[in-house]
Amino acid sequence: MMQAALRRHLIEPFYETAKGGARLKYWKELEQSQYLPAEVLSDRQLARLKALLSFVYENNAFYRRRFDEAGLRPDDVRSVRDIGILPVLTKEEIRENMATIISRGFATEGLLRFKTGGSMGKALALYITEDCSERRNACARRHDRWSGWEVGEPIGALWGNVADPTMKQRLRGMLLSPYIWLDTMEVTERSVRAFENDWKKARPTLLFGHAHSLFLLAQYVQRLGITGIAPKAIISTSMMLLPSERALIEGVFGLRVFDRYGCEEVSLIASECEAHEGMHLNIEHLYIEFVKEDGTHAGAGEPGRIIVTDLMNYAMPFIRYNVEDVGVPKAGMCSCGRGMPLMEHVTGRVADFLVKPDGSRVAGVSLIENSLTKFPGIDQMQIVQEAVDAIILRLVTGPAFTHREAGALTDYFHQVFGQKACVRLELTGEIKPESSGKYRFSICRVP
Ligand SMILES: [Zn+2]
Protein backbone atom coordinates (compact mmCIF):
# COMPACT_ATOMS: atom_id res chain seq x y z
CA MET A 1 0.00 0.00 0.00
CA MET A 2 1.76 3.09 -1.30
CA GLN A 3 -0.26 5.60 0.67
CA ALA A 4 0.25 3.74 3.93
CA ALA A 5 3.99 3.58 3.35
CA LEU A 6 4.04 7.30 2.61
CA ARG A 7 2.19 8.09 5.82
CA ARG A 8 4.48 5.77 7.76
CA HIS A 9 7.85 6.84 6.42
CA LEU A 10 7.34 10.49 5.64
CA ILE A 11 4.36 12.20 7.15
CA GLU A 12 4.51 10.75 10.64
CA PRO A 13 8.22 11.33 11.32
CA PHE A 14 7.77 14.91 10.09
CA TYR A 15 4.71 15.47 12.25
CA GLU A 16 6.38 13.92 15.29
CA THR A 17 9.52 16.03 14.91
CA ALA A 18 7.44 19.18 14.59
CA LYS A 19 5.45 18.26 17.68
CA GLY A 20 8.43 17.11 19.71
CA GLY A 21 6.66 13.88 20.69
CA ALA A 22 8.56 10.87 21.93
CA ARG A 23 6.21 8.20 20.61
CA LEU A 24 8.46 7.07 17.77
CA LYS A 25 11.39 6.70 20.12
CA TYR A 26 9.31 4.73 22.65
CA TRP A 27 7.88 2.58 19.90
CA LYS A 28 11.31 1.65 18.55
CA GLU A 29 12.51 0.80 22.06
CA LEU A 30 9.50 -1.45 22.60
CA GLU A 31 9.93 -3.19 19.24
CA GLN A 32 13.43 -4.17 20.36
CA SER A 33 12.80 -4.96 24.01
CA GLN A 34 10.07 -7.54 23.32
CA TYR A 35 12.71 -10.08 22.22
CA LEU A 36 14.98 -9.57 25.21
CA PRO A 37 15.39 -12.62 27.46
CA ALA A 38 12.82 -12.92 30.25
CA GLU A 39 15.47 -12.29 32.96
CA VAL A 40 16.52 -9.00 31.37
CA LEU A 41 12.91 -7.87 31.19
CA SER A 42 12.31 -8.84 34.85
CA ASP A 43 15.42 -6.92 35.91
CA ARG A 44 14.16 -3.85 34.07
CA GLN A 45 10.74 -4.25 35.61
CA LEU A 46 12.26 -4.33 39.10
CA ALA A 47 14.40 -1.26 38.36
CA ARG A 48 11.36 0.63 37.09
CA LEU A 49 9.32 -0.40 40.11
CA LYS A 50 12.03 0.77 42.51
CA ALA A 51 12.32 4.11 40.70
CA LEU A 52 8.55 4.57 40.90
CA LEU A 53 8.42 3.67 44.60
CA SER A 54 11.27 6.06 45.47
CA PHE A 55 9.58 8.89 43.60
CA VAL A 56 6.19 8.21 45.09
CA TYR A 57 7.57 7.92 48.62
CA GLU A 58 8.97 11.45 48.40
CA ASN A 59 6.27 13.09 46.30
CA ASN A 60 2.90 11.52 46.93
CA ALA A 61 1.05 12.10 50.19
CA PHE A 62 -1.48 9.33 49.69
CA TYR A 63 1.12 6.62 49.06
CA ARG A 64 3.56 7.94 51.65
CA ARG A 65 0.96 7.26 54.30
CA ARG A 66 0.15 3.88 52.77
CA PHE A 67 3.82 2.84 52.69
CA ASP A 68 4.38 4.02 56.26
CA GLU A 69 1.32 2.16 57.54
CA ALA A 70 2.48 -1.05 55.86
CA GLY A 71 6.07 -0.55 56.99
CA LEU A 72 7.43 -0.46 53.44
CA ARG A 73 10.50 1.58 52.54
CA PRO A 74 11.46 1.73 48.84
CA ASP A 75 15.09 0.88 49.70
CA ASP A 76 13.98 -2.42 51.23
CA VAL A 77 12.47 -3.70 47.99
CA ARG A 78 14.61 -6.54 46.58
CA SER A 79 11.99 -8.24 44.42
CA VAL A 80 8.74 -7.08 42.79
CA ARG A 81 6.89 -9.42 45.14
CA ASP A 82 8.01 -7.32 48.13
CA ILE A 83 5.26 -4.78 47.45
CA GLY A 84 2.77 -7.51 48.40
CA ILE A 85 2.73 -6.08 51.95
CA LEU A 86 0.89 -3.03 50.59
CA PRO A 87 -2.90 -3.28 50.65
CA VAL A 88 -4.75 -3.63 47.36
CA LEU A 89 -5.99 -0.29 46.00
CA THR A 90 -9.68 0.03 45.13
CA LYS A 91 -11.54 2.45 42.87
CA GLU A 92 -13.46 3.68 45.91
CA GLU A 93 -10.24 4.63 47.73
CA ILE A 94 -9.02 6.55 44.71
CA ARG A 95 -12.29 8.44 44.49
CA GLU A 96 -12.14 9.32 48.20
CA ASN A 97 -8.50 10.48 47.98
CA MET A 98 -8.42 12.46 44.75
CA ALA A 99 -6.88 15.43 46.55
CA THR A 100 -3.76 13.57 47.70
CA ILE A 101 -3.28 10.87 45.07
CA ILE A 102 -1.88 13.27 42.46
CA SER A 103 1.89 13.54 42.98
CA ARG A 104 3.55 16.78 43.96
CA GLY A 105 4.72 18.74 40.92
CA PHE A 106 1.84 17.63 38.69
CA ALA A 107 -0.92 20.22 38.53
CA THR A 108 -4.04 18.57 37.14
CA GLU A 109 -4.44 21.42 34.61
CA GLY A 110 -1.24 20.31 32.88
CA LEU A 111 -2.31 16.67 32.60
CA LEU A 112 -4.48 14.70 30.19
CA ARG A 113 -7.76 13.90 31.85
CA PHE A 114 -10.16 11.13 31.01
CA LYS A 115 -12.76 9.03 32.74
CA THR A 116 -13.59 5.44 33.38
CA GLY A 117 -17.01 4.00 34.19
CA GLY A 118 -16.46 1.24 36.71
CA SER A 119 -18.72 -1.51 37.93
CA MET A 120 -20.56 0.65 40.45
CA GLY A 121 -21.66 2.99 37.69
CA LYS A 122 -19.71 5.89 39.20
CA ALA A 123 -17.17 7.60 36.99
CA LEU A 124 -13.55 7.94 38.06
CA ALA A 125 -11.35 10.77 36.77
CA LEU A 126 -7.94 9.67 35.55
CA TYR A 127 -4.85 11.78 34.92
CA ILE A 128 -1.69 11.03 32.97
CA THR A 129 1.09 13.13 31.49
CA GLU A 130 1.42 13.62 27.74
CA ASP A 131 4.62 11.58 27.94
CA CYS A 132 2.89 8.66 29.64
CA SER A 133 0.19 8.82 27.00
CA GLU A 134 2.84 8.62 24.26
CA ARG A 135 4.32 5.53 25.89
CA ARG A 136 0.90 3.89 26.02
CA ASN A 137 0.22 4.72 22.39
CA ALA A 138 3.63 3.39 21.38
CA CYS A 139 2.88 0.15 23.22
CA ALA A 140 -0.58 -0.22 21.65
CA ARG A 141 1.01 0.29 18.26
CA ARG A 142 3.56 -2.48 18.84
CA HIS A 143 0.74 -4.87 19.75
CA ASP A 144 -1.40 -3.73 16.83
CA ARG A 145 1.46 -4.71 14.54
CA TRP A 146 1.53 -8.23 16.00
CA SER A 147 -1.72 -8.76 14.07
CA GLY A 148 0.02 -8.04 10.76
CA TRP A 149 -1.42 -4.53 10.48
CA GLU A 150 1.17 -1.94 9.48
CA VAL A 151 1.42 1.68 10.60
CA GLY A 152 -0.39 4.01 8.19
CA GLU A 153 -2.89 1.41 6.96
CA PRO A 154 -6.59 2.26 7.37
CA ILE A 155 -8.57 0.80 10.28
CA GLY A 156 -12.19 -0.23 10.66
CA ALA A 157 -13.24 0.40 14.27
CA LEU A 158 -16.25 -0.92 16.17
CA TRP A 159 -16.78 1.27 19.17
CA GLY A 160 -19.60 2.55 21.32
CA ASN A 161 -19.86 6.10 22.49
CA VAL A 162 -17.97 7.73 19.63
CA ALA A 163 -17.26 10.80 21.74
CA ASP A 164 -15.37 8.64 24.26
CA PRO A 165 -12.12 10.48 25.01
CA THR A 166 -10.23 7.20 25.44
CA MET A 167 -11.08 6.28 21.89
CA LYS A 168 -10.07 9.72 20.66
CA GLN A 169 -6.76 9.31 22.42
CA ARG A 170 -6.43 5.87 20.91
CA LEU A 171 -7.05 7.17 17.42
CA ARG A 172 -4.57 9.93 17.97
CA GLY A 173 -2.20 7.09 18.77
CA MET A 174 -2.94 5.49 15.44
CA LEU A 175 -2.09 8.86 14.05
CA LEU A 176 -2.53 9.35 10.35
CA SER A 177 -3.99 5.91 9.93
CA PRO A 178 -7.37 6.77 8.43
CA TYR A 179 -10.28 4.99 10.05
CA ILE A 180 -13.91 4.20 9.47
CA TRP A 181 -16.41 3.62 12.14
CA LEU A 182 -19.34 1.45 13.22
CA ASP A 183 -21.10 2.62 16.35
CA THR A 184 -21.68 -0.40 18.60
CA MET A 185 -24.63 1.31 20.23
CA GLU A 186 -26.43 0.73 16.96
CA VAL A 187 -25.47 -2.42 15.11
CA THR A 188 -28.34 -2.92 12.65
CA GLU A 189 -28.69 -4.17 9.09
CA ARG A 190 -28.63 -0.56 7.89
CA SER A 191 -25.54 0.50 9.86
CA VAL A 192 -23.69 -2.68 8.85
CA ARG A 193 -24.48 -2.01 5.17
CA ALA A 194 -23.27 1.59 5.56
CA PHE A 195 -20.11 0.25 7.23
CA GLU A 196 -19.61 -2.06 4.23
CA ASN A 197 -19.85 0.91 1.86
CA ASP A 198 -17.33 2.88 3.90
CA TRP A 199 -15.10 -0.18 3.97
CA LYS A 200 -15.09 -0.50 0.18
CA LYS A 201 -13.95 3.12 -0.13
CA ALA A 202 -11.34 3.25 2.64
CA ARG A 203 -10.22 -0.41 2.36
CA PRO A 204 -9.02 -0.93 5.95
CA THR A 205 -6.70 -3.83 6.69
CA LEU A 206 -7.49 -4.05 10.41
CA LEU A 207 -10.85 -4.61 12.07
CA PHE A 208 -10.68 -3.48 15.68
CA GLY A 209 -13.35 -3.49 18.39
CA HIS A 210 -15.13 -4.83 21.46
CA ALA A 211 -15.35 -8.64 21.44
CA HIS A 212 -19.11 -8.90 21.51
CA SER A 213 -19.56 -6.19 18.86
CA LEU A 214 -17.23 -8.11 16.53
CA PHE A 215 -19.42 -11.12 17.13
CA LEU A 216 -22.60 -9.19 16.28
CA LEU A 217 -20.98 -7.82 13.13
CA ALA A 218 -19.87 -11.33 12.11
CA GLN A 219 -23.46 -12.55 12.56
CA TYR A 220 -24.74 -9.84 10.21
CA VAL A 221 -22.00 -10.47 7.67
CA GLN A 222 -22.95 -14.14 7.65
CA ARG A 223 -26.71 -13.61 7.58
CA LEU A 224 -26.67 -10.91 4.88
CA GLY A 225 -23.97 -12.59 2.80
CA ILE A 226 -21.81 -9.47 2.95
CA THR A 227 -18.49 -9.78 1.14
CA GLY A 228 -17.29 -6.16 1.20
CA ILE A 229 -15.95 -6.23 4.77
CA ALA A 230 -12.70 -8.12 4.33
CA PRO A 231 -10.06 -7.38 6.99
CA LYS A 232 -6.57 -8.87 6.93
CA ALA A 233 -6.39 -8.81 10.72
CA ILE A 234 -8.86 -8.67 13.63
CA ILE A 235 -8.13 -7.39 17.14
CA SER A 236 -10.69 -8.00 19.86
CA THR A 237 -10.36 -5.79 22.89
CA SER A 238 -11.85 -4.31 26.08
CA MET A 239 -13.95 -7.26 27.10
CA MET A 240 -13.87 -11.04 27.32
CA LEU A 241 -13.95 -12.93 24.07
CA LEU A 242 -16.12 -16.02 24.59
CA PRO A 243 -14.79 -19.15 22.85
CA SER A 244 -18.06 -19.63 20.94
CA GLU A 245 -18.03 -16.01 19.75
CA ARG A 246 -14.40 -16.31 18.73
CA ALA A 247 -15.19 -19.41 16.67
CA LEU A 248 -17.96 -17.61 14.79
CA ILE A 249 -15.87 -14.48 14.08
CA GLU A 250 -12.92 -16.57 12.88
CA GLY A 251 -15.19 -18.73 10.71
CA VAL A 252 -16.96 -15.79 9.06
CA PHE A 253 -13.84 -13.75 8.28
CA GLY A 254 -11.48 -16.72 7.79
CA LEU A 255 -8.89 -15.20 10.15
CA ARG A 256 -7.51 -15.81 13.62
CA VAL A 257 -8.61 -13.19 16.14
CA PHE A 258 -5.94 -11.40 18.21
CA ASP A 259 -7.38 -11.10 21.70
CA ARG A 260 -6.33 -8.25 23.93
CA TYR A 261 -6.97 -7.21 27.50
CA GLY A 262 -6.65 -3.80 29.10
CA CYS A 263 -8.52 -1.05 30.89
CA GLU A 264 -8.60 2.73 30.81
CA GLU A 265 -6.75 3.08 34.12
CA VAL A 266 -3.52 1.38 33.05
CA SER A 267 -4.05 0.82 29.31
CA LEU A 268 -2.85 -2.39 27.65
CA ILE A 269 -2.37 -5.27 30.12
CA ALA A 270 -1.92 -8.30 27.87
CA SER A 271 -2.34 -9.32 24.26
CA GLU A 272 -1.97 -12.23 21.87
CA CYS A 273 0.85 -12.51 19.38
CA GLU A 274 0.79 -14.38 16.08
CA ALA A 275 1.48 -17.68 17.86
CA HIS A 276 -1.86 -17.46 19.77
CA GLU A 277 -0.52 -19.40 22.77
CA GLY A 278 -1.93 -17.03 25.36
CA MET A 279 -1.69 -13.30 26.01
CA HIS A 280 1.74 -11.71 26.59
CA LEU A 281 1.81 -9.60 29.76
CA ASN A 282 2.93 -6.01 29.22
CA ILE A 283 5.72 -6.21 31.80
CA GLU A 284 7.65 -3.29 30.32
CA HIS A 285 4.97 -0.91 31.57
CA LEU A 286 3.26 -2.87 34.30
CA TYR A 287 3.73 -5.28 37.18
CA ILE A 288 0.78 -7.67 37.07
CA GLU A 289 -0.22 -9.99 39.93
CA PHE A 290 -2.86 -12.73 40.04
CA VAL A 291 -4.05 -12.91 43.63
CA LYS A 292 -6.19 -15.65 45.15
CA GLU A 293 -8.87 -15.13 47.83
CA ASP A 294 -6.35 -15.96 50.60
CA GLY A 295 -4.01 -13.21 49.38
CA THR A 296 -1.36 -15.52 47.92
CA HIS A 297 -0.36 -15.52 44.26
CA ALA A 298 -2.18 -17.87 41.91
CA GLY A 299 -0.03 -20.54 40.28
CA ALA A 300 -0.10 -21.33 36.56
CA GLY A 301 -3.59 -22.44 35.55
CA GLU A 302 -5.20 -21.02 38.69
CA PRO A 303 -7.60 -18.06 38.60
CA GLY A 304 -6.73 -14.95 40.59
CA ARG A 305 -7.81 -11.34 40.88
CA ILE A 306 -5.78 -9.16 38.54
CA ILE A 307 -3.81 -6.57 40.53
CA VAL A 308 -1.79 -4.05 38.50
CA THR A 309 1.00 -1.60 39.29
CA ASP A 310 1.60 0.97 36.53
CA LEU A 311 5.36 1.58 36.30
CA MET A 312 4.97 4.60 34.01
CA ASN A 313 2.30 6.83 35.54
CA TYR A 314 4.06 9.09 38.06
CA ALA A 315 1.38 11.78 38.03
CA MET A 316 -1.46 9.64 39.36
CA PRO A 317 0.22 6.43 40.47
CA PHE A 318 -1.60 3.10 40.47
CA ILE A 319 0.16 0.75 42.86
CA ARG A 320 -1.44 -2.67 43.49
CA TYR A 321 -4.64 -1.56 41.83
CA ASN A 322 -7.58 -3.95 41.76
CA VAL A 323 -8.87 -3.99 38.18
CA GLU A 324 -11.84 -6.09 39.35
CA ASP A 325 -11.22 -8.82 36.80
CA VAL A 326 -10.19 -12.43 37.29
CA GLY A 327 -7.50 -13.99 35.09
CA VAL A 328 -5.34 -17.09 34.84
CA PRO A 329 -1.52 -16.96 34.53
CA LYS A 330 0.14 -19.45 32.18
CA ALA A 331 3.36 -21.42 32.64
CA GLY A 332 6.19 -21.48 30.12
CA MET A 333 7.26 -19.18 27.33
CA CYS A 334 5.64 -18.53 23.98
CA SER A 335 7.10 -20.16 20.87
CA CYS A 336 7.32 -16.72 19.19
CA GLY A 337 10.53 -16.02 21.14
CA ARG A 338 9.31 -12.93 22.96
CA GLY A 339 10.48 -12.69 26.56
CA MET A 340 7.19 -11.45 27.98
CA PRO A 341 5.36 -14.05 30.15
CA LEU A 342 1.86 -15.27 29.34
CA MET A 343 -1.60 -15.38 30.82
CA GLU A 344 -4.29 -17.77 29.57
CA HIS A 345 -7.37 -15.60 29.49
CA VAL A 346 -9.59 -13.35 31.53
CA THR A 347 -12.38 -15.35 33.16
CA GLY A 348 -14.58 -12.35 33.84
CA ARG A 349 -15.17 -9.34 35.96
CA VAL A 350 -15.36 -9.92 39.69
CA ALA A 351 -18.76 -8.21 39.60
CA ASP A 352 -20.00 -10.70 37.02
CA PHE A 353 -19.57 -13.73 39.23
CA LEU A 354 -22.89 -15.06 40.47
CA VAL A 355 -23.65 -16.39 43.95
CA LYS A 356 -24.79 -19.97 44.54
CA PRO A 357 -27.02 -20.93 47.50
CA ASP A 358 -24.02 -22.33 49.40
CA GLY A 359 -22.24 -18.97 49.07
CA SER A 360 -19.73 -20.12 46.46
CA ARG A 361 -19.30 -18.18 43.24
CA VAL A 362 -19.69 -19.17 39.64
CA ALA A 363 -18.55 -17.19 36.59
CA GLY A 364 -21.63 -15.97 34.70
CA VAL A 365 -19.79 -16.25 31.41
CA SER A 366 -19.14 -19.97 31.94
CA LEU A 367 -22.86 -20.56 32.42
CA ILE A 368 -23.55 -18.61 29.24
CA GLU A 369 -20.86 -20.47 27.34
CA ASN A 370 -22.31 -23.81 28.51
CA SER A 371 -25.86 -22.75 27.61
CA LEU A 372 -24.86 -21.57 24.13
CA THR A 373 -23.15 -24.87 23.36
CA LYS A 374 -25.81 -27.12 25.00
CA PHE A 375 -29.07 -25.59 23.81
CA PRO A 376 -29.71 -24.71 20.16
CA GLY A 377 -31.41 -21.50 19.07
CA ILE A 378 -29.86 -19.03 21.53
CA ASP A 379 -28.18 -16.14 19.68
CA GLN A 380 -27.39 -13.97 22.68
CA MET A 381 -27.86 -14.28 26.38
CA GLN A 382 -27.53 -12.20 29.54
CA ILE A 383 -27.96 -13.38 33.12
CA VAL A 384 -29.24 -11.04 35.81
CA GLN A 385 -29.18 -12.35 39.37
CA GLU A 386 -31.58 -10.21 41.41
CA ALA A 387 -31.26 -12.37 44.55
CA VAL A 388 -29.57 -15.67 45.37
CA ASP A 389 -32.78 -17.46 44.38
CA ALA A 390 -34.00 -15.11 41.62
CA ILE A 391 -32.44 -15.39 38.17
CA ILE A 392 -33.53 -13.66 34.99
CA LEU A 393 -32.26 -14.98 31.66
CA ARG A 394 -32.54 -12.46 28.84
CA LEU A 395 -32.47 -14.21 25.50
CA VAL A 396 -32.30 -13.35 21.85
CA THR A 397 -33.45 -16.55 20.16
CA GLY A 398 -33.92 -18.07 16.72
CA PRO A 399 -36.46 -20.60 15.41
CA ALA A 400 -34.54 -23.58 16.86
CA PHE A 401 -35.37 -22.37 20.35
CA THR A 402 -38.65 -24.09 21.31
CA HIS A 403 -40.49 -24.95 24.54
CA ARG A 404 -38.24 -27.96 24.88
CA GLU A 405 -35.06 -25.86 24.86
CA ALA A 406 -36.66 -23.35 27.24
CA GLY A 407 -37.49 -26.18 29.67
CA ALA A 408 -34.02 -27.69 29.43
CA LEU A 409 -32.35 -24.30 29.94
CA THR A 410 -34.48 -23.64 33.04
CA ASP A 411 -33.57 -27.10 34.40
CA TYR A 412 -29.90 -26.37 33.85
CA PHE A 413 -30.10 -23.19 35.93
CA HIS A 414 -32.05 -25.05 38.64
CA GLN A 415 -29.19 -27.53 38.84
CA VAL A 416 -26.78 -24.65 39.46
CA PHE A 417 -28.87 -22.39 41.71
CA GLY A 418 -31.12 -24.99 43.41
CA GLN A 419 -34.62 -26.29 42.67
CA LYS A 420 -36.23 -23.53 44.74
CA ALA A 421 -34.70 -20.73 42.67
CA CYS A 422 -37.05 -18.72 40.47
CA VAL A 423 -35.64 -18.82 36.93
CA ARG A 424 -37.45 -16.47 34.54
CA LEU A 425 -36.84 -16.35 30.81
CA GLU A 426 -37.26 -13.01 29.05
CA LEU A 427 -37.26 -13.15 25.26
CA THR A 428 -36.11 -9.93 23.68
CA GLY A 429 -35.17 -8.61 20.24
CA GLU A 430 -31.75 -7.40 21.33
CA ILE A 431 -29.51 -6.99 24.33
CA LYS A 432 -28.25 -3.42 24.55
CA PRO A 433 -24.71 -2.49 25.53
CA GLU A 434 -24.03 -0.20 28.46
CA SER A 435 -23.37 3.49 27.82
CA SER A 436 -19.64 2.70 27.45
CA GLY A 437 -20.50 0.54 24.45
CA LYS A 438 -19.44 -2.64 26.24
CA TYR A 439 -21.77 -5.55 26.85
CA ARG A 440 -22.25 -7.25 30.17
CA PHE A 441 -23.03 -10.93 29.98
CA SER A 442 -23.90 -11.37 33.59
CA ILE A 443 -24.98 -8.95 36.27
CA CYS A 444 -25.04 -9.86 39.94
CA ARG A 445 -27.23 -7.70 42.18
CA VAL A 446 -26.71 -9.83 45.28
CA PRO A 447 -24.86 -7.66 47.83
ZN1 LIG B 1 4.15 -15.00 21.55
User: How many other CB atoms sit within 10 Å of the CB of residue 22?
Assistant: 15
CA 257 to chain CA centroid, Å, is 14
Query: Which range is least confidently modeled, 13-22, 33-42, 56-65, 407-416?
Result: 13-22
CA 379 to chain CA centroid, Å, is 23
Tell how far the Cα of 407 is from the centroid of ligand 1, in angstroms. 44
Strands 422-427 and 390-397: parallel
* Per-residue b or e along 140-166, where b marks 16 or more CB atoms closer than 10 Å to that residue's CB: bbbbbebbbbbbbbbbbbbbbbeebeb
User: Is residue 102 assigned to a domain?
Assistant: no
Q: How far apart are CA 26 and CA 4, in angstroms?
A: 21
- pLDDT for the residue 120: 43
Q: How far apart are CA 275 and CA 279, in angstroms?
A: 10
Tell how far the Cα of 32 is from the centroid of ligand 1, in angstroms. 14
User: How many other CB atoms sit within 10 Å of the CB of residue 424?
Assistant: 13
Tell how far the Cα of 329 is from the centroid of ligand 1, in angstroms. 14
Query: Which range is least confidently modeled, 51-55, 114-118, 143-147, 269-273?
Result: 114-118
Q: Do 154 and 26 fall into the same domain?
A: yes
Q: How far apart are CA 280 and CA 143, in angstroms?
A: 10
User: Is residue 16 assigned to a domain?
Assistant: yes
- pLDDT for the residue 176: 58
Tell how far the Cα of 340 is from the centroid of ligand 1, in angstroms. 8
Largest CA distance in the chain: 68
Tell how far the Cα of 276 is from the centroid of ligand 1, in angstroms. 7
Q: State which of 260, 287, 316 marks the end of a domain.
A: 260
Tell how far the Cα of 273 is from the centroid of ligand 1, in angstroms. 5
Q: Do 23 and 141 fall into the same domain?
A: yes
Q: How many residues does the chain have?
A: 447
Q: State which of 207, 225, 260 marks the end of a domain.
A: 260
Q: Do 365 and 232 fall into the same domain?
A: no
Host H or E run for residue 398? none
Tell how far the Cα of 48 is from the centroid of ligand 1, in angstroms. 23
- pLDDT for the residue 427: 94
User: Is residue 397 assigned to a domain?
Assistant: yes
φ, ψ for residue 256, nearest 5 deg: -80, 140
User: Is residue 200 assigned to a domain?
Assistant: yes
Q: State which of 233, 260, 287 marks the end of a domain.
A: 260
- pLDDT for the residue 119: 46
- pLDDT for the residue 166: 55
Q: Do 144 and 26 fall into the same domain?
A: yes
φ, ψ for residue 9, nearest 5 deg: -90, -25
User: Is residue 127 assigned to a domain?
Assistant: no
Q: Is 320 helix (H, G, I), strand (E, B) or coil?
A: coil
User: Is residue 211 assigned to a domain?
Assistant: yes
Query: Which range is least confidently modeled, 40-49, 355-364, 382-391, 433-442?
Result: 433-442
pTM of the full predicted structure?
0.83
User: How many other CB atoms sit within 10 Å of the CB of residue 2?
Assistant: 6
Tell how far the Cα of 158 is from the centroid of ligand 1, in angstroms. 25
Looking at the predicted structure, is the pLDDT value of residue 121 above 70?
Answer: no
Task: For residue 424, list its beta bridge partners.
Answer: 392
Strands 179-183 and 361-363: unpaired
More confident position, 388 or 350 = 388
- Position 241 confidence tier, pLDDT thresholds 50, 70, 90: confident
Write the CATH number for 151.
3.40.50
Q: How far apart are CA 22 and CA 132, in angstroms?
A: 10
User: Is residue 29 assigned to a domain?
Assistant: yes
Tell how far the Cα of 231 is from the centroid of ligand 1, in angstroms. 22
Q: Is the dihedral of CA 187, 190, 193, 199 positive or negative?
A: negative
Write the CATH number for 378.
3.30.300.30
More confident position, 431 or 252 = 252
- The residues, any chain, with a CB within 8 Å of residue 213's CB and separated by 6 or more, are 158, 159, 160, 182, 184, 187, 433, 437, 439
Tell how far the Cα of 310 is from the centroid of ligand 1, in angstroms. 22
Q: How far apart are CA 138 and CA 407, in angstroms?
A: 51
User: Is residue 438 assigned to a domain?
Assistant: yes
Mean pLDDT of 418-431: 93
- Position 172 confidence tier, pLDDT thresholds 50, 70, 90: low
- Nearest CA-CA partner of 217 in 205, 230, 204: 230
Q: Do 244 and 366 fall into the same domain?
A: no
Amino acid identity of 44? R
- Position 67 confidence tier, pLDDT thresholds 50, 70, 90: very high
Tell how far the Cα of 322 is from the centroid of ligand 1, in angstroms. 26
Structural domain count of the chain: 2
With beta carbons less than 8 A apart as the criterion, state whether 368 and 441 touch.
yes
Tell how far the Cα of 5 is from the centroid of ligand 1, in angstroms. 26
End-to-end distance of the chain based on CA atoms, in angstroms? Answer: 54
Q: How far apart are CA 304 and CA 143, in angstroms?
A: 24
Report the chain's mean pLDDT, rounded to a whole number.
88
Q: Do 27 and 157 fall into the same domain?
A: yes
Surface-to-core class of residue 214, CB atoms within 10 Å of its CB (0-12 exposed, 13-18 middle, 19+ buried): buried
Containing domain of residue 365, as a range? 356-444
- pLDDT for the residue 22: 82
pLDDT of 326-336, one tens digit each?
A: 899 999 999 99
Q: Do 373 and 245 fall into the same domain?
A: no
φ, ψ for residue 441, nearest 5 deg: -80, -35
Q: Do 146 and 254 fall into the same domain?
A: yes
Tell how far the Cα of 41 is from the centroid of ligand 1, in angstroms. 15
